[in-house]
Amino acid sequence: MGHGHEHAHGGTPKASRTALQVALVANAAYTALQAVVGFAVGSVALLADAGHNLSDVLALAVALGAAALAARPATPRHSFGFRRAEVLAALANALSIVAVAAIVAVEAIRRLDDPPEVPGAPLALVALGGIVVNLGSAVLIHRAQGGHGDLNLRASFLHLAGDAAASLGVLVGGVLVIAFGWDLADPLIALGIAALIALSTWGVLRDAVLVLLESAPRGIDPEQVGAALAECEGVVDVHDLHVWEITPGFPALAAHVIVEADSDARQVRRELQRILDVRFQILHTTLQVENQPRRRLMPERPHR
């Protein structure tokens, strides 16, 4: 019998945590400014954007805590470490942002029948600052993320990019109020922001749930993996095949493989691991490889 077990663990780099810290401080300061101006001028669009930003400040705080937890080394009790803390953080953040979107949408719809008078200049100025803060923070986190499939950083990036787009919407609303006195622009843009919030979270919400349900990673077909393993020379049967993700970008596989009685189980296992690495980029593998029992020949009966 042969067993193969390979690991590819790694925590969130320090640069990622630094980017989250900078984005957290910048967005907290800007959100406070938005709330003060929004209440002062009675703008639901600005308050909607502030509520979105507040949820993102909380999301960044949760993401930062999860990143620090994920960087802790594995232990005998937690053999995969704490990397799924980032998936849980991404899921919590996505659900909270959907709740904010619902609140914003309800308030905006309530104001459609009787839109309040809103001064456009404060809206435009505060929104312009939001574009700078959110876009700058999004770029910072995107650079820290690099090519890694970090769902936690991805959720934070999407929140900030959505905030930048929302601030752009508020800026357009302020310009419309200044140029045409169109007060209806404020609740309409708030509805647009709510829709943008909901849409931007769908991908993160879906991926987080799939990881927690231990579904096969997107882009990896378990049937194709099983067929590739079964085609390896010496392999008789592949069963109990499981493919899942610890976190996005960290796929894992376990399987029970039966090889021919005369085959070298260790050599076959090495070839199977090479196939999984090269063809499917699966580095964490647990393969139980066994030789097929030899058939016993029945002794011939003597002739009478």
Same domain (yes/no): 33, 140: yes
3-state secondary structure of 38: helix
Same domain (yes/no): 205, 232: no
DSSP letter assigned to residue 114: S
At 226 the pLDDT is 94
Same domain (yes/no): 201, 228: no
Whole-number Å distance between alpha carbons of 172 and 189: 9
Q: Which of 141-155, 185-199, 255-269 has the highest mean pLDDT?
A: 255-269
For residue 212, pLDDT beyond 70: yes
At 154 the pLDDT is 74
CATH number of the CATH domain containing 248? 3.30.70.1350
Question: Token pair of 293, please?
Answer: 């029992």
Would 283 be classed as within a structural domain? yes
Residue 60: pLDDT band (50, 70, 90) is confident
Are 63 and 155 within 8 A, CB to CB?
A: yes
What does the pLDDT look like over 89-132, one tens digit per residue?
A: 888 877 877 877 787 788 778 777 766 666 667 667 777 887 88
At 123 the pLDDT is 66
Amino acid letter, residue 186:
D
Per-residue pLDDT, averaged over 164-171, amounts to 74
- For the chain, percent of residues with pLDDT exceeding 70: 83
Please say which residue of 212, 244, 265 terminates a domain: 212
At 10 the pLDDT is 41
DSSP letter assigned to residue 95: H
Whole-number Å distance between alpha carbons of 83 and 74: 9
Please say which residue of 178, 212, 246 terminates a domain: 212
- pTM here is 0.64
Across all residues in the chain, what is the average pLDDT?
79
Whole-number Å distance between alpha carbons of 137 and 45: 21
Would 299 be classed as within a structural domain? no
Same domain (yes/no): 136, 37: yes
DSSP letter assigned to residue 220: -
User: What angle separates helix 151-180 from helix 44-70, to the nearest 10 degrees?
Assistant: 170
Q: Which residue has better confidence, 174 or 250?
A: 250
User: What angle separates helix 222-230 from helix 265-280, to the nearest 10 degrees?
Assistant: 140
3-state secondary structure of 286: strand
Are 167 and 90 within 8 A, CB to CB?
A: no
At 8 the pLDDT is 40
Q: Which residue has better confidence, 145 or 110?
A: 110
Same domain (yes/no): 279, 197: no
What is the Cα Rg of the chain in Å?
A: 27
Whole-number Å distance between alpha carbons of 168 and 162: 10
At 135 the pLDDT is 84
Same domain (yes/no): 117, 255: no
Are 186 and 43 within 8 A, CB to CB?
A: yes
Would 5 be classed as within a structural domain? no
Domain that holds residue 268: 222-291
Q: Which of 38-52, 62-76, 189-203, 215-229 has the highest mean pLDDT?
A: 215-229
Q: Which of 20-24, 72-76, 197-201 has the highest mean pLDDT?
A: 20-24
Residue 280: pLDDT band (50, 70, 90) is very high
At 6 the pLDDT is 45
Closest to 253 in 3D by CA, of 275, 298, 283, 297: 283
User: How many alpha carbons lie under 13 Å from residue 96 in its C-beta half-sphere?
Assistant: 20
At 259 the pLDDT is 92
For the stretch 49-58, what's the b/e string if a residue is b when 16 or more beta carbons lie within 10 angstroms of its beta carbon?
bbbbbbbbbb
Whole-number Å distance between alpha carbons of 98 and 92: 10
Please say which residue of 174, 190, 212 terminates a domain: 212
Same domain (yes/no): 274, 136: no
CATH number of the CATH domain containing 171? 1.20.1510.10
3-state secondary structure of 3: strand
Whole-number Å distance between alpha carbons of 203 and 200: 7
Helix or strand (DSSP H, E) at 254: strand 250-259
**Where does residue 247 rank: exposed (0-12), middle (13-18), buried (19+ CB within 10 A)?**
buried
At 197 the pLDDT is 73
For residue 220, pLDDT beyond 80: yes
Among 21-25, 95-99, 119-123, 153-157, the range scoring the smallest mean pLDDT is 119-123
* Residue spans of alpha helices (H) in 42-150: 44-70, 84-112, 120-145
Per-residue pLDDT, averaged over 165-191, amounts to 74
